[in-house]
C-alpha cells in the first residue's frame, strides 16, 4: 500500500461534503482521502495538490480529479487557474506518506541508511546534507531548538560542526552516529526523530508553507464551508489551533464593541480529534495525529 490515511472517516465526516461541490485535497499523498471524497461527489470535482512527483504518478484515474504538482502554499494561484474558487471544503493531512518514509534513498527515516536528502519536492536544490554541512553552528543550533525542540541543541550543533571538519556528513548513518553522542541513554531513537524532524521542516520550509496555506485557504472557502487539518507535531498543531481560533498565528483574540470575536473562521472542534486506540494499533504512525476543524463564518 502506498500510504494508509490517518483519521480517514473522521476527516471526511468533518468536511460535510456536498455532492455537487468543489473540494481541495491539499496533500494528496497516496490518495486515500481523495478516493473517499470522490466517492461522495456527484457532479462535483476535487483539486488535489502534491509536490512529490511519485504521488502524482500514483494518481487516481478519475475525470473529476484535477492534480496539481505543487506545494499547497501556492494554492490560490492554481485555484484561480482552474476557475475553482471559492470552494466547498479543504482538507490537509500534513504528515509524510508511508511511501516516502519507507524509501531509504529519500532520507526521511532514521531506520534506513540513505543519503541525507529529505526533499519532498525533488526539483528543489537544497537537501538535508547541504544544511548539515553548510549552515553555521548558530544556524544549526537555532533550527534544532526551534523545529526539533532539542534542549541541548547548542551541544549537538557544535558536534556536527566538528565532525564535518573531518569528513562530509553525507548519509543518515553518518548523522545518527553524531546525534547519538548527544542523546540521553535509552532515548536515542526519540532524539534522532527530533533531529530528523527539524531538518525535514527546514529543507521543505514547512512552517512558512503552512502559514501561507492557512491564510489562502481561509480566503478560498465559501461562507459556511469547512477546513480540516491533520497535524503531527506540536509546532504545526499550535499554529493551526491559534489561526482557527483567532485568525492570526499568535492566538491573540480580538473582539468588536459587542464582544464578538473578530476572526474569519468558527472553530468546530474545541479539542483536537485524535485517532482511536484501534487505529493506532493498526497504524502506529497515527499516534501523534491531531485533527482540527473550522468553518468559514458567513458574513
pLDDT per position as a tens digit, 210-247: 999 999 999 999 999 999 999 999 999 999 999 999 99
Measured torsion, CA atoms of residues 110, 233, 273, 280, in degrees rounded to the nearest 10: 10
Domain of residue 137, CATH code:
1.10.150.170
pLDDT per position as a tens digit, 10-34: 999 999 999 999 999 999 998 999 9
Is residue 3 situated within a structural domain? no
| Residues 89 and 219 reside in one and the same domain | yes
Is residue 2 situated within a structural domain? no
Per-residue CA distances from 225 to 23, 30, 72, 89, 250 (Å): 10, 25, 18, 5, 24
pTM to 2 decimal places: 0.93
Percent of the chain with pLDDT over 70: 99
Domain of residue 13, CATH code:
3.40.50.150
| Residues 116 and 197 reside in one and the same domain | yes
Cβ within 8 Å of residue 220, ≥6 positions away: 24, 75, 76, 79, 85, 86, 87, 90
Instruction: Match 486515500 to its residue by C-alpha cell.
Output: 32
pLDDT per position as a tens digit, 101-128: 778 889 899 999 999 999 999 999 999 9
Pick from 24, 130, 119: nearest CA to 68: 24
The last residue of a domain, from among 171, 186, 204: 204
pLDDT per position as a tens digit, 150-159: 999 999 999 9
Confidence (pLDDT) at 3: 60
pLDDT per position as a tens digit, 182-207: 999 999 999 999 999 999 999 999 99
- Is residue 25 within 8 A of residue 49, CB to CB? The reply is yes
| Residues 217 and 157 reside in one and the same domain | no
The last residue of a domain, from among 179, 204, 229: 204
Query: How far is it, in rounded angstroms, from Cα 196 to Cα 200?
Result: 6
Confidence (pLDDT) at 49: 97
Is residue 254 situated within a structural domain? yes
The last residue of a domain, from among 204, 222, 250: 204
Number of domains composing the chain: 2
Range of the domain at 151: 108-204
Amino acid at each position: 500500500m502506498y500510504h494508509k490515511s490517518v483519521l480517514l472517516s473522521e476527516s471526511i465526516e468533518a468536511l460535510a461534503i456536498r455532492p455537487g461541490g468543489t473540494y481541495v485535497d491539499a496533500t494528496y499523498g497516496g490518495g486515500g482521502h481523495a478516493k473517499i471524497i470522490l466517492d461522495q461527489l456527484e457532479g462535483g470535482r476535487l483539486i488535489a495538490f502534491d509536490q512529490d512527483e511519485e504521488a502524482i504518478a500514483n494518481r487516481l484515474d478519475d475525470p473529476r480529479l484535477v492534480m496539481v504538482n505543487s506545494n499547497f502554499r501556492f494554492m490560490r494561484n492554481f485555484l484561480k487557474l482552474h476557475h475553482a474558487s471559492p470552494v466547498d471544503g479543504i482538507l490537509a493531512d500534513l504528515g509524510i506518506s508511508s511511501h516516502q518514509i519507507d524509501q531509504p534513498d529519500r532520507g526521511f527515516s532514521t531506520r534506513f541508511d540513505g543519503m541525507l536528502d529529505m526533499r519532498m519536492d525533488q526539483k528543489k536544490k537544497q537537501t538535508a546534507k547541504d544544511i548539515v554541512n553548510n549552515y553555521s553552528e548558530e544556524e544549526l543550533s537555532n533550527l534544532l531548538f526551534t523545529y526539533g525542540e532539542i534542549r541541548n541543541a547548542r551541544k549537538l550543533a557544535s558536534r556536527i560542526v566538528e565532525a564535518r571538519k573531518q569528513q562530509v556528513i553525507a548519509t543518515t548513518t553518518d548523522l545518527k552516529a553524531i546525534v547519538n553522542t548527544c542523546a540521553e541513554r535509552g532515548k536515542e531513537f526519540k532524539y534522532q526523530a527530533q533531529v530528523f524532524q527539524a531538518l525535514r521542516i527546514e529543507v521543505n520550509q514547512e512552517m512558512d508553507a503552512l502559514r501561507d496555506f492557512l491564510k489562502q485557504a481561509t480566503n478560498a472557502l465559501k461562507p459556511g464551508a469547512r477546513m480540516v487539518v491533520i497535524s503531527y507535531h506540536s509546532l504545526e498543531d499550535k499554529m493551526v489551533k491559534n489561526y482557527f481560533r483567532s485568525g492570526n498565528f499568535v492566538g491573540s483574540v480580538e473582539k468588536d464593541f459587542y464582544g464578538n470575536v473578530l476572526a474569519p473562521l468558527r472553530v468546530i472542534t474545541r479539542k483536537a480529534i485524535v485517532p482511536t486506540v484501534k487505529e493506532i494499533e493498526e497504524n502506529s504512525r497515527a499516534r501523534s495525529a491531531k485533527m482540527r476543524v473550522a468553518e468559514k463564518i458567513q458574513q
